[in-house]
Amino acid sequence: MTPPISVRLDEDVWATLEAEAKAHGLGIGTLPRQLSADAAGRIERQRIRAESEAVGRSVASSPEVRRFVDSLGRPPVAEL
């Protein structure tokens, strides 16, 4: 198990989180964990997209890389 994180929240933020947790039938400790996990997933997807875009730009800007990628062809499509 990972170590806990201690975060001090303003009263209005606490009240908002508490109300949201209650509205979803969650404990106040569960909601920030869920929100953090969701945010971490979005951050990871953004990182992957950025890296994919960088590869795409590299392929598009380099004739040598483009020829290599084109030489790979496409995988065969399985018949249904």
Q: What percent of the chain has a predicted confidence (pLDDT) above 90?
A: 56
Choose between 11 and 71: higher pLDDT. Answer: 11
Convert the pLDDT of each residue in 32-68 to its tens digit. Answer: 999 999 999 999 999 999 999 998 898 888 888 878 8
Residue type, 18: E
Q: What is the pTM of this model?
A: 0.65
Helical spans, DSSP H, in the chain: 11-23, 30-61, 63-72
Question: What per-residue confidence (pLDDT) applies to 80?
Answer: 60
Q: In the chain, what are the domain boundaries?
A: 37-72
Q: Say which residues have a Cβ less than 8 Å from residue 18's Cβ, sequence separation at least 6.
A: 28
CB atoms within 10 A of CB 57: 10
